[in-house]
């Protein structure tokens, strides 16, 4: 039967890409995109759009691709998304739009992510920018953090005529898109910087090197700097460690540190001043996207790269494509395995990691089967670097310096999902600062919700 298979996307060969930082996926060209777009059944009640956190009119933009009206397709996309070139690359499509696609019931779902990416890349290459507001409304909004939540909130507000300033703690804008997700998955100069420029072209100002809660507080922004509302999109926060012996040894890193050195500081390049840990055999503990990013970065820097994850393959929280790519490139998966101790040499350097085998027991609170250690199954893996990728806990910088801002038991900021409203008047929040570590698209959704909430608040 025709149309069961999606148009395959070109990628760098695994062996080649395992030794470089160039983008793995090469994307569709015009012909491939049009051919794939034709597979869309243009459902009357599109399930894909319901699966999209920002409710992109997916059949709408795909129909424009079929007509080869790529500018039109970009207009449909940017009506809902501020960062289409990013989302086309890093969204977990298999559980969202593509997971709902009717084509997927019998055969492959339409390659929605790759089509989104094609349109966004085409627009960038052809110099098409999102549309700017007709007139300013004279109101000022401060956005804290220039990651996906902050950028999408700022973009939406600017389109409505607000004067928006984003405050970024680091020296470069982009948040996790810049410091976290590696070059081979999300190119910085080719994709992230132009997306940030697009938001700036809407009139948004970005002030880097400002730490809200330290350099200036939220109350000062509202009372002294003339902002009418604030959106907090400050991101996930402090990396977690396991609390096992040896964790402070030299050669043990958080994935955040490892990736920040490689991505933000470009430590992997010889002419940049920040040092990059080099290892022969790296063990990455964890099974999320960040763990895959760290494992594939270590591999590219010349290490034999091992994932150690306490549950089984089915429970890996990473995107399917990342796991698939990691395996193709030669990352070794040690599943149902949990570290118990980091082994060190006499100089305080990592020399290995002791692990115990696990089996799956009854489902836990997350609905996943709880891993249980198998008595007496301990063994050692030799390693000269251990990278902990266990998630993060909220950064207290803002909550501890903002009176009246409620946080929950997990120290995340409490905000309403539909409008980002917090317990403090005029202050809205969204993204990882509210939910704990999640995905780029969920942060974007929260940024858009916050923009909606702020617009309602300031239109009263």
Among 127, 275, 367, 376, binds other proteins (CB under 8 A): 275
Among 274, 377, 408, 423, binds other proteins (CB under 8 A): 274
Q: Residue 238 interacts with other proteins (CB under 8 A)?
A: yes
Could you tell me which residues come within 8 angstroms of residue 224 by beta carbon, excluding any fewer than 6 positions away?
none
Q: Residue 347 interacts with other proteins (CB under 8 A)?
A: yes
Among 395, 399, 407, 435, binds other proteins (CB under 8 A): 395
If you search the block for the tokens 């890409």, which residue do you land on? 17
Could you tell me which residues come within 8 angstroms of residue 289 by beta carbon, excluding any fewer than 6 positions away?
317, 318, 319, 322, 439
| CA–CA dist 314, 331 (Å, integer) | 17
Site size with other proteins, rule: CB under 8 A: 40
The token pair at 342 is 């980091």
Contact (Cβ atoms closer than 8 angstroms) between residue 372 and residue 311: no
Among 132, 171, 205, 324, binds other proteins (CB under 8 A): 171
Other Cβ atoms within 10 Å of 26 Cβ, number: 11
Query: Strand 332-334 to strand 379-382: parallel, antiparallel, or no bridges (unpaired)?
Result: unpaired
- C-alpha pair distances (Å), 201 with each of 72, 194, 269, 451: 19, 10, 30, 18
Contact (Cβ atoms closer than 8 angstroms) between residue 434 and residue 428: no
Contacts 24+ apart (CB under 8 A), 62-68: 62/37, 62/110, 62/112, 62/115, 63/37, 65/33, 65/34, 65/37, 65/115, 65/118, 65/119, 66/34, 66/37, 66/38, 66/40, 68/30, 68/34
Query: Residue 144: beta bridge partners?
Result: 167, 232
Q: Residue 257 interacts with other proteins (CB under 8 A)?
A: yes
Among 133, 360, 372, 397, binds other proteins (CB under 8 A): 397
User: Among the candidate windows 105-113, 268-276, 421-429, 451-459, which touches other proteins by CB under 8 A?
Assistant: 268-276
Nearer to other proteins, 50 or 208 (CB): 208
Q: Residue 399 interacts with other proteins (CB under 8 A)?
A: no
Nearer to other proteins, 168 or 445 (CB): 168
Q: Residue 266 interacts with other proteins (CB under 8 A)?
A: yes
Among 22, 29, 50, 241, binds other proteins (CB under 8 A): 241
Nearer to other proteins, 111 or 297 (CB): 297
User: Among the candidate windows 15-23, 97-105, 231-239, 427-435, which touches other proteins by CB under 8 A?
Assistant: 231-239
Q: Residue 248 interacts with other proteins (CB under 8 A)?
A: yes
Q: Residue 265 interacts with other proteins (CB under 8 A)?
A: yes
The token pair at 455 is 């617009």
Nearer to other proteins, 93 or 178 (CB): 178
- C-alpha pair distances (Å), 460 with each of 427, 441, 453, 455, 456: 15, 29, 11, 9, 6
Among 61, 70, 74, 179, binds other proteins (CB under 8 A): 179
Least distance CB 331 / other proteins (angstroms): 22
Least distance CB 317 / other proteins (angstroms): 20
User: Among the candidate windows 82-90, 263-271, 310-318, 440-448, which touches other proteins by CB under 8 A?
Assistant: 263-271
Among 178, 260, 407, 435, binds other proteins (CB under 8 A): 260
Q: Residue 272 interacts with other proteins (CB under 8 A)?
A: yes
| CA–CA dist 242, 233 (Å, integer) | 27
Q: Is 11 helix (H, G, I), strand (E, B) or coil?
A: strand
Q: What are phi and psi of 429, to 5 degrees?
A: -150, 155
The token pair at 177 is 């898109």
Residues numbered 195-224 forming contacts with other proteins, rule: CB under 8 A: 208-211, 214-216
Least distance CB 257 / other proteins (angstroms): 4
Q: Residue 300 interacts with other proteins (CB under 8 A)?
A: no
Least distance CB 216 / other proteins (angstroms): 6
Nearer to other proteins, 201 or 401 (CB): 401
Contact (Cβ atoms closer than 8 angstroms) between residue 116 and residue 84: yes
Contact (Cβ atoms closer than 8 angstroms) between residue 66 and residue 41: no
User: Among the candidate windows 43-51, 91-99, 241-249, 439-447, which touches other proteins by CB under 8 A?
Assistant: 241-249
Query: Residue 344: beta bridge partners?
Result: 350
Among 88, 109, 237, 371, binds other proteins (CB under 8 A): 237
Residues forming the site for other proteins (CB under 8 A): 169-171, 179, 208-211, 214-216, 237-239, 241, 243, 247-248, 250-251, 253-254, 256-257, 260-261, 264-266, 270-275, 347-348, 395-397
């Amino acid at each position: 039967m025709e149309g069961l298979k999606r148009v395959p996307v070109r990628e760098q060969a695994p062996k080649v890409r395992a030794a470089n930082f160039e983008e793995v996926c090469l994307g569709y060209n015009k012909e491939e995109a049009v051919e794939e777009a034709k597979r869309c059944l243009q459902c009357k009640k599109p399930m894909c759009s319901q699966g999209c956190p920002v409710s992109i009119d997916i059949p709408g933009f795909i129909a424009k691709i079929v007509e080869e009206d790529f500018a039109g397709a970009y207009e449909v996309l940017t009506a809902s998304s501020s960062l289409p070139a990013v989302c086309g690359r890093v969204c977990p499509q298999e559980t969202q739009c593509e997971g709902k696609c009717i084509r997927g019931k019998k055969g492959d779902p339409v390659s929605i992510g790759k089509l989104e990416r094609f349109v966004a890349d085409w627009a960038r290459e052809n110099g098409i920018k999102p549309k700017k507001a007709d007139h300013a409304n004279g109101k000022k909004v401060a956005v804290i953090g220039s990651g996906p939540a902050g950028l999408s909130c700022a973009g939406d507000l600017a389109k409505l005529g607000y004067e928006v300033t984003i405050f970024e703690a680091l020296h470069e804008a982009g948040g996790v898109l810049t410091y976290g997700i590696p070059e081979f998955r999300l190119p910085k100069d080719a994709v992230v910087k132009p997306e940030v420029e697009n938001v700036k072209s809407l009139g948004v100002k970005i002030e880097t090197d400002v730490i809200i809660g330290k350099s200036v507080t939220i109350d000062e922004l509202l009372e002294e700097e003339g902002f009418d509302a604030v959106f907090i999109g400050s991101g996930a926060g402090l990396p977690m460690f396991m609390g096992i012996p040896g964790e402070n040894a030299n050669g043990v890193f958080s994935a955040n540190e490892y990736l920040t050195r490689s991505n933000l500081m470009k430590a992997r390049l010889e002419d940049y001043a920040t040092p990059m840990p080099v290892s022969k055999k790296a063990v990455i503990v964890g099974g999320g996207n960040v763990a895959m990013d760290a494992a594939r970065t270590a591999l590219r820097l010349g290490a034999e790269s091992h994932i150690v994850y306490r549950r089984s393959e089915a429970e890996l929280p990473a995107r399917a494509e990342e796991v698939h790519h990691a395996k193709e490139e030669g990352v070794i998966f040690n599943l149902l395995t949990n570290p118990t101790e980091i082994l060190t040499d006499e100089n305080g350097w990592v020399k290995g990691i002791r692990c115990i085998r696990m089996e799956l027991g009854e489902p836990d609170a997350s609905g996943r089967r709880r891993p249980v250690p198998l008595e007496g199954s301990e063994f050692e893996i030799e390693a000269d670097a251990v990278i902990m990728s266990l998630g993060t806990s909220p950064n207290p910088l803002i909550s501890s310096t903002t009176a009246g801002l409620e946080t929950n038991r997990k120290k995340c900021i409490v905000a309403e999902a539909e409008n980002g409203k917090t317990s403090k008047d005029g202050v809205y929040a969204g993204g990882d600062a509210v939910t704990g570590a999640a995905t780029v698209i969920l942060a974007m959704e929260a940024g858009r919700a916050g923009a909606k909430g702020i617009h309602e608040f300031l239109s009263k």
